[in-house]
Amino acid sequence: MPRYFFHLRDRSGTLLDIEGSEHGDADAAVAEAARHARSMIIDEVRHRSALPMGDRIEITDVAGEIVATVRFADSLAVHWGDDEAPILTNDAMIRRMKD
């Protein structure tokens, strides 16, 4: 299985993933990055009452090439009521840099 690296980019800089993890393909890596982003958003809200919506995770392959970017703002669906459509959808989550 291919190995992907998940580098966190936030307002304070970049935290590099030096270990990476194996995923079936780039889409599976993007889904994993979105799960991580949602988890980090929850932690920030619990501990700091802030939403890190400008942060992002850049996914690279073993060659260091960016294969996708997952923005925290795009990793959530925001609903304002039961009958309303989401303002942000998970479909907007993937910002492919290349195929």
Q: What is the pLDDT of residue 56?
A: 93
Question: Quick one: which of 51, 50, 44, 2 has its CA closest to 22?
Answer: 2
Are 75 and 40 spatial neighbours (Cβ–Cβ below 8 Å)?
Answer: no
Band of the pLDDT at 43, cuts 50, 70, 90?
Answer: confident
For residue range 54-78, list pLDDT tens digits in order. Answer: 889 999 999 999 999 999 888 877 6
pTM of the entire predicted model: 0.75
